[in-house]
């Protein structure tokens, strides 16, 4: 989970520029946080799909949950959660191959594993769960290190710029155009 705090002086400067009330500031801040979280989630999903060489972004969609917004003193803070557990082999692009000791996929060896078709009919790397023929389960590949580095270095590198762009737009809309004022 990644936590972020934004510069309160910059928030105050933008609020003063548009002569925003405290209520306008709170609403604009909340909405800017939601919009920023959505933007970061979208950037992360698109980038990770390419970085991890996944077949589709559907596998990531479930793992990138929005954010937790915790109000404390002042404006609060944002925490984003990413599920970086191992992913099924069939979620990645590539072709499994048999080796002398088992199977391999994308440069990773799975000793004692074999190639079989999953429920969707796609060949993947499987392993027996017990000594018996069934049940079998699909092997998984680790993504945590690669994904964590990508998220921190590429995605959240620009979070402040994105947030202040959304915040400025929200304050402007609420003060100049009376958006959100029933």
Listed as ranges, residues in the chain with pLDDT below 50 are none
| Residue-range domain boundaries for the chain | 2-86+142-176, 88-141
pLDDT recorded at residue 14:
92
Q: What is the pLDDT of residue 76?
A: 58
Percent of the chain surpassing pLDDT 70: 88
- Checking phi first, is residue 78 left (phi over 0); if not, alpha (psi -120 to 50) or beta? beta
The closest of 144, 49, 127, 58 to 93, measured between CA atoms, is 49
Six token digits for residue 90: 């069939």
Q: Would you state the pLDDT for residue 72?
A: 52
**What pLDDT does 82 receive?**
79
Q: Give the pLDDT score at 61.
A: 82
What's the confidence (pLDDT) of residue 65?
Answer: 67
Largest CA distance in the chain: 72
| pLDDT confidence of residue 169 | 95
């Amino acid at each position: 989970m990644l936590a972020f705090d934004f510069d309160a002086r910059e928030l105050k400067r933008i609020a003063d520029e548009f002569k925003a009330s405290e209520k306008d500031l709170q609403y604009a801040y909340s909405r800017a946080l939601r919009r920023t979280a959505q933007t970061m989630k979208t950037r992360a999903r698109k980038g990770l799909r390419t970085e991890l060489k996944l077949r589709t972004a559907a596998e990531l969609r479930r793992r990138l949950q929005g954010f937790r917004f915790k109000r404390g003193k002042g404006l609060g803070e944002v925490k984003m959660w990413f599920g970086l557990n191992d992913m099924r082999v069939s979620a990645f692009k590539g072709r499994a191959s048999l080796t002398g000791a088992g199977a391999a996929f994308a440069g990773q060896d799975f000793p004692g594993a074999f190639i079989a078709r999953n429920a969707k009919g796609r060949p993947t790397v499987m392993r027996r769960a017990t000594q018996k023929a069934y049940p079998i389960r699909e092997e998984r590949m680790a993504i945590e290190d690669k994904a964590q580095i990508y998220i921190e270095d590429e995605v959240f590198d620009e979070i402040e710029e994105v947030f202040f762009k959304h915040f400025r737009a929200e304050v402007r809309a609420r003060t100049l155009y009376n958006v959100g004022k029933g």
